[in-house]
Amino acid sequence: MDLMEAIKGRRSIRKYKPDSVPEKALQMVMEAIRWTPSWANTQCWEVIAVKDPKVKSELSTALPKGNPALSSMTEAPFVLILCGKKGISGYYKGQPATEKGDWLMFDTGLAMQNLCLAAYALGLGTVVVGMFDHKKVEEILGVPQNVEVVAMTPLGYPASEGSATRRKEISEFIHYESYIKRNE
């Protein structure tokens, strides 16, 4: 699949078929995470792959009732939980190298995008889920103190297409030469 086609064609999928995901496809998605760029190649990501319906159901209780991705957490054959090891990305000799502190949100975000695009290229659906009780998920999954849960995604074959989404025009976000000198 052409890269721009994948970038533009991927949509958040919130309805899934029960069909299982082949192990080879899961490995390919992990391979896409593996090649994600990261701060000084620190690769702080950790992934928990959940297939057990009981655990998926428990995880879904961490989402607020109004989260549109709620039912997809139990519908999809897999839920992937993307975590980051703290104090590695953006650190030099144990100290934050920039005023932004830990860059784990950034690096795991890049990993999530690689995951979603690779899944899409394989005909699989994903939806980034960020709105949930992170502490609860960390407890359910036994995540250690030095690691934090960042986001999750169901993974499976789409039962329906994602809804069309609007994007800003390039002219609405590009700034030439400096922030204030816009669109000239």
Give the residues lining the site for ligand FMN (CB under 6 A).
11-12, 67-69, 127-131, 151, 162, 165
What are the φ/ψ torsions at residue 33 (nearest 5 degrees)?
A: -65, -45
Four-point Cα dihedral 138, 65, 13, 139, nearest 10: 10
CB of 63 to ligand FMN, least distance (A): 7
- Looking at the Cβ atoms of 75 and 97, the one nearer to ligand FMN is 75
- Looking at the Cβ atoms of 64 and 94, the one nearer to ligand FMN is 64
List the one residue out of 146, 35, 153, 45 whose CA is nearest residue 105: 45
For the four alpha carbons of 176, 179, 180 and 182, in that order, the dihedral sign comes to positive
- Looking at the Cβ atoms of 9 and 53, the one nearer to ligand FMN is 9
CB of 181 to ligand FMN, least distance (A): 29
CB of 176 to ligand FMN, least distance (A): 26
CB of 14 to ligand FMN, least distance (A): 6
In the bound state, the residue with its beta carbon closest to ligand FMN is 130
DSSP string, 42-71: ---EEEEEE--HHHHHHHHTTS-TT-TTTT
- Looking at the Cβ atoms of 28 and 131, the one nearer to ligand FMN is 131
